[in-house]
Amino acid sequence: AQTVTQSQPEMSVQEAETVTLSCTYDTSENNYYLFWYKQPPSRQMILVIRQEAYKQQNATENRFSVNFQKAAKSFSLKISDSQLGDTAMYFCALSGGSNYKLTFGKGTLLTVNP
């Protein structure tokens, strides 16, 4: 069975600062994918970033980057230069090997304050 744990139910950050959201996971698969999804208030869930487990290089998308520690089964999301529009629920998710079902964490509600 796959599990995803987000230990921070809520976080806040000042505009323009950097914040890191934590995620740990467990899977018996050797090949798997990790994702961060963002769900703004009353809006659609969208993909922020994804990481393929066999790639050692950490994924980066503009102000969003991950710190993927495979041995520690850790997958944190760093948001640089936080903007008000980054206020959202963030979900960490895992899909393992040929099993394309996503297992989600419970989410972290991030608030960016002006």
Partner 1 sequence: DVKVTQSSRYLVKRTGEKVFLECVQDMDHENMFWYRQDPGLGLRLIYFSYDVKMKEKGDIPEGYSVSREKKERFSLILESASTNQTSMYLCASRMVLGNQPQHFGDGTRLSIL
61 binds partner 1 (CB under 8 A): no
Contact between 106 and partner 1 by CB under 8 A: the answer reads yes
**Contact between residue 49 and residue 61 where contact means Cβ atoms under 8 Å apart:** yes
Is residue 105 at the binding interface for partner 1, with CB under 8 A as the rule? yes
Q: Which of 30, 44, 56, 57 binds partner 1 (CB under 8 A)?
A: 44
Task: Catalogue the long-range contacts made by 65-70 (C-beta closer than 8 Å, 24 or more residues apart).
Answer: 66/34, 66/36, 67/20, 68/34
Output 15 or 55, the one with its CB closest to partner 1. 55
Under the binding rule (CB under 8 A), the answer on residue 64 touching partner 1 is: no
Query: What's the closest the beta carbon of residue 23 comes to partner 1, in angstroms?
Result: 12
Q: Which residue in 28, 30, 41, 43 binds partner 1 (CB under 8 A)?
A: 43
Q: Rg for the chain (alpha carbons), in Å?
A: 14
Residues that bind partner 1 in the complex, under the rule CB under 8 A? 9, 33, 35, 37, 43-47, 50, 91, 95, 100-102, 104-107
